[in-house]
Structure 1
Amino acid sequence: MKLQQAKRHQVKLRIGLSGPSGFGKTYSALLLAYGMTGNWKKIALIDTENNSASLYSHLGDFNVLSLEEPFSPERYIKAIQVCEEADISVIIIDSISHEWQGKSGCLEIHEQLGGRFQDWAKVTPRHNAFIDAIILSKCHLITTSRRKVDYSIDKGSDGKTKVSKLGMKEITREGFEYELTVNFEFLNDKHLVSSSKDRTGLFSGKPEFIINSATGKRLMEWSNDGISLEEIKEEINSCTTEESLKLLYTQYPHLSKELYPLIVLRKETLDNLSNQIIPNEQVIQQPNLENNEFSIK
């Protein structure tokens, strides 16, 4: 255990857009992504919404990966990997709701296993792997999710059952919002949004607004403020012990995929240097007087 000074470092953005169908999630996600990159070719949209991305092809020549059923967590993970391997800067998943409630999504998998509470022990690790793929991706990532009206059924003081409207509920597993940098909720079909979660401080407490490319640019400027990956690489190369490498690795969990091979390479270098040093017991012995040379055991 060791105290260390807090550092502001560059991060990969994890942005959520949630709202009912028809509120403008896909269009807004594309504008956000373009503001972040300034290059449509660096954007990939994983489309689970019946090729709805084609409606916005006039915006620019962004990349599309059509993901049809089954909507298992593993297929989503594979789609993310395909985008990463294509050297994409921003991945849009439109939408993540199918992974939870779609055909062969987590709820259906649970039901097929028997629908018992203990069956979640088999489903949860698969869903968590999907969440990890989002969190640990080397790309900036934008997710969209649907929202629906949530109700509760209660008994009143008169003993009669009544239905209460609780508001809008996101169609994904509860708690996903906590993994995001920013989560925007669409308030109406006029595309107005407010932030329900904001680690940047750029939007919390501010009036509702309409997302555009300038929003993405502001987010990108925020994410680039701090120590860069190149500077972290220099820190790795300056480490002289395995302990210092471990400490450095734990400081940047969101960059674990990028840093791990660099950490391993530096450790191998340190191990090789250590093996080249002559151990203490192999000290210089008595000189060989016959040929005027020193011998080493």
Structure 2
Amino acid sequence: MQLKQSKRENVKLRLGISGPSGFGKTYSALQLAYGLTGDWTKIGVIDTENSSVSLYSHLGTFNVLDLYHPYSPERYIEAIGVCEEAGMEVVIIDSITHEWNGTGGCLQIHEQLGGRFQDWAKVTPRHQSFIDKILSSKCHIITTTRRKVDYSLDMGGNGRAKVVKHGTKEITREGFEYELTVNFELVNDQHLAKVSKDRTGLFNGKPEFVINSATGKKLLQWCRIEPLPSKSINTRIKECLSVSELMGLYKQHPNYQKSHQAQFNQRKSELEQLSNPNNFSQNGTSVNQ
């Protein structure tokens, strides 16, 4: 065993894109992947969507692995391994929904075992192996997931049962989102996206946007930036000699933008005061005296 300093540049991203059919999950994933690599030949797509990815072959010469049923966890694991051995930098799994709810997927495996609660003891470890493969991969992983409208049957004030709509829900095992670095949810057929999970701090509180290659570049830059100790960020702020230098530091470290907003604003005011000609002295006498 050996301790070593952590480096964010060694982090491999685990990104999710979810949405109903026709909202642009595959296209968004390809744009994101290209931003991460800048090289289409380093992108591998595990396609379970009946070759829908071929619609975007005009974008570049990315690689496709067609995965047909049965969609067992083991076949997904094998497919990811093939992409790794081929030297892919980014692997797009389009989509992971089939591993859970497709022919030969976990729900069908559970049903074939008898559909009893205790039968999950045999299914869950197989599904977890699939999740573990995603988390341990040496590649950046982008998953796409189908969404469906989620309903529940609730009791109304009059004592009668009523159907209540709860928005949309990802078609995969609950909790997968918590394994991701960022989870993007496509909200309409214009490809507009919002984030439901963001460990990077790059997208929290931001308005809806269209995922493109610049989004991937932004995430890649985040991977390569060394996080600063909290005590040193204050020193770096004070050492800035111009507003432009201060803004560069602010943009370079998004994780400190909220926690050190007051320090950034104070230093900006100080620098603006220093650069204001009205505050300069004339013939040794300050104009403010």
C-alpha displacement of 1:192: 0.3
| Letter in structure 2 aligned against 1:90 | V
In 1, the alpha carbon distance for the partners of 2:66 and 2:120 equals 28
In 1, the alpha carbon distance for the partners of 2:7 and 2:47 equals 34
Indicate how the Cα distance of structure 1 residues 162 and 6 shifts in structure 2: closer, same or farther if over 3 A, else same: farther
Indicate how the Cα distance of structure 1 residues 5 and 78 shifts in structure 2: closer, same or farther if over 3 A, else same: closer
In 2, the alpha carbon distance for the partners of 1:9 and 1:45 equals 25
SS in 2 for 1:56: helix
Matched, 1:217 2:217: yes
In 1, the alpha carbon distance for the partners of 2:4 and 2:77 equals 35
SS in 2 for 1:28: helix
C-alpha displacement of 1:60: 0.3
**% identical equivalent positions:** 71
Show CA shifts across 1:260-281 (max 9, x none): xxxxxxxxxxxxxxxxxxxxxx
SS in 2 for 1:204: coil
| Letter in structure 2 aligned against 1:193 | A
In 1, the alpha carbon distance for the partners of 2:103 and 2:136 equals 25
In 2, the alpha carbon distance for the partners of 1:200 and 1:175 equals 19
SS in 1 for 2:118: helix
Q: Which residue of 2 aligns with 1:246?
A: none
SS in 1 for 2:26: helix
Q: Which residue of 2 aligns with 1:27?
A: 27
| Letter in structure 1 aligned against 2:201 | G
In 1, the alpha carbon distance for the partners of 2:72 and 2:4 equals 41
For structure 2, list consecutive stretches of 5 or more residues without a partner in the other structure. 228-289
Indicate how the Cα distance of structure 1 residues 225 and 109 shifts in structure 2: closer, same or farther if over 3 A, else same: same
Q: Which residue of 1 aligns with 2:142?
A: 142
TM-score, with structure 2 as normaliser = 0.75
Show CA shifts across 1:51-88 (max 9, x none): 00110000000000000110000000000000000010
Q: How do 1:134-213 residues align onto structure 2 when only pairs under 5 Å count?
A: 134-213=134-213
- Largest Rg, 1 or 2: 1
Q: Which residue of 2 aligns with 1:58?
A: 58
| Letter in structure 2 aligned against 1:88 | M
In 2, the alpha carbon distance for the partners of 1:95 and 1:196 equals 18
| Letter in structure 2 aligned against 1:123 | V
In 2, the alpha carbon distance for the partners of 1:158 and 1:223 equals 54
In 2, the alpha carbon distance for the partners of 1:105 and 1:143 equals 16
Q: Which residue of 2 aligns with 1:278?
A: none
C-alpha displacement of 1:5: 10
Show CA shifts across 1:238-261 (max 9, x none): xxxxxxxxxxxxxxxxxxxxxxxx
In 2, the alpha carbon distance for the partners of 1:99 and 1:5 equals 36
Q: Which residue of 2 aligns with 1:124?
A: 124
SS in 2 for 1:151: strand
In 2, the alpha carbon distance for the partners of 1:69 and 1:126 equals 16
Q: Which residue of 2 aligns with 1:45?
A: 45
C-alpha displacement of 1:109: 0.5
In 2, the alpha carbon distance for the partners of 1:132 and 1:152 equals 31
In 1, the alpha carbon distance for the partners of 2:149 and 2:4 equals 45
Show CA shifts across 1:222-242 (max 9, x none): 112239xxxxxxxxxxxxxxx
SS in 2 for 1:114: coil
| Letter in structure 1 aligned against 2:72 | S
C-alpha displacement of 1:9: 2.6
SS in 2 for 1:109: helix
SS in 1 for 2:201: coil
In 1, the alpha carbon distance for the partners of 2:204 and 2:157 equals 39
How much is the aligned-residue C-alpha RMSD, in angstroms? 1.4
| Letter in structure 1 aligned against 2:35 | G
Number of residue equivalences: 224
| Letter in structure 2 aligned against 1:125 | P
| Letter in structure 1 aligned against 2:90 | V
C-alpha displacement of 1:7: 4.3
